[in-house]
A = this chain, B = another copy of it.
Amino acid sequence: MRPIRLGMVGGGNDAFIGGVHRIAARIDGRFQLVAGALSSTPEKAQASGAALGLDPARTYDDFKAMAIREARLKDGIEAVAIVTPNHVHYAAAREFLKRGIHVICDKPLTSTMADARKLVKAAEESDALFVLTHNYTGYPLMRQARQMVAEGRLGKIRVVQVEYAQDWLSKADDSKQAAWRTDPERSGIGGSTGDIGTHAFNLASFVTGLTLESLSADLQAFVSGRALDDNAHVMMRFAGGARGMLWCSQVAPGNENGLRLRVFGEKAGLEWAQENPNQLWFSELGQPKQLLTRGGAGSTSDAARVTRIPGGHPEGYLEGFATIYREAAEAIEAHRDGHKVADDVIYPTVQDGLKGMQFVDACVRSSKRDGAWVTLA
């Protein structure tokens, strides 16, 4: 099986998430990076491409030019990873989608609702696939949690507690990473809600299968002069009666990347924390708590499918991310062969991206209306 030819937009030398995507694409050997518009600055684009060993002829400083030329090449890219700041997602994705090149795009989907809706349309009109890298859904134990909920092992879900806490924006920070995330022009209207709240919301939805009907939010920008929220408190009401809370923060000292999910049903509860992703607590009412491990006793089929190494040998963030790429590869190869992709292949779609945008939009609308309950739309 030859690797899928991959291009990349964004992800030049000093970017964080671009490097993550490249490792994720390599881990299972299903992709080969062959082209890139790694920066819109020509010198930087060339230098970044050279550092990655790309053919200079396939090193671009303009994503549209890349889309046009690669689409014409006999061995042009089959898929592109878009890892730019949010405001570029739509414009870049459109160019590739309309030329039949599959898109693997970082989250959140876009920087504006208008762009989000246009991107949905572009994806729907294209024969190419659109994969959103809500990478935390790639952790085997999150697949397992989802399956356990779906199989009814928790009973009807009552309460969802999800949080994503960091501390790296506790002070005013003008690093490159911080700058665009706190700039409405490039990030959109959500600060912590967009950058990490969308992950939390997506993961809770993924595991529980619940549809969020309405929310009440209280957003804050604690750091003086910051234009976007850096902390958010959200109450949630799901279809069917479940309720939840979501907290996201980038000003919580002592938290590096504290994504934590707890789900409680009539019969049992689940607890998981991203920083030690190889453990999942499962508590049935009236029974001792069980510590399930990735690859250990009690593993479910959905977890086993995306597990690479035995229990006790920790998989981490990069493997979870790589699972999104692996699932994308499954789908792209099925597409290439004209087959239907297998039912157990799971990846976040443009619709998930739209829901994330609606979540951010609802948080901001609710908070402006002093926490009034608003529906997602």
A278 within 8 A of B: yes
Q: Which residues of B contact A47 (CB under 8 A)?
A: none
Return the contact of A1 from the options B3, B53, B256, B274 (Cβ within 8 A): B53
Q: A216-B216, A313-B317 are in contact. List 8 more A-B contacts (CB 8 A).
A: A218-B235, A235-B371, A253-B285, A254-B271, A254-B283, A255-B312, A290-B290, A316-B319
Residue of B nearest to A168 (CB): B310
A138 within 8 A of B: no
Kindly report how many copies of this chain are found in the complex they form together.
4
Assess the A315–B312 pair: CB atoms within 8 A: no
A252 within 8 A of B: yes
Residue of B nearest to A278 (CB): B275
Assess the A256–B27 pair: CB atoms within 8 A: no
A23 within 8 A of B: yes
Q: Which residues of B contact A278 (CB under 8 A)?
A: 275-276, 316
A222 within 8 A of B: yes
Assess the B371–A247 pair: CB atoms within 8 A: no
How far is B159's CA from A288's CA once the two chains are assembled, in angstroms? 24
A263-304 interface code vs B (CB 8 A; 1 in, 0 out): 011111101001111100111111111111101111000000
Residue of B nearest to A290 (CB): B288
A258 within 8 A of B: yes
A220, A245, A265 interface centre (most CB from chain B within 10 Å): A245
Assess the A313–B26 pair: CB atoms within 8 A: no
How far is B232's CA from A245's CA once the two chains are assembled, in angstroms? 10
A178 within 8 A of B: no
Assess the B285–A292 pair: CB atoms within 8 A: no
Q: Which residues of B contact A19 (CB under 8 A)?
A: 308-309
How far is B245's CA from A228's CA once the two chains are assembled, in angstroms? 20
Q: Which residues of B contact A1 (CB under 8 A)?
A: 53
A1, A28, A254 interface centre (most CB from chain B within 10 Å): A254
A100 within 8 A of B: no
Q: Which residues of B contact A288 (CB under 8 A)?
A: 282, 290-293, 296-298
Q: Which residues of B contact A316 (CB under 8 A)?
A: 278, 313-316, 318-319
Q: Which residues of B contact A161 (CB under 8 A)?
A: 163, 247
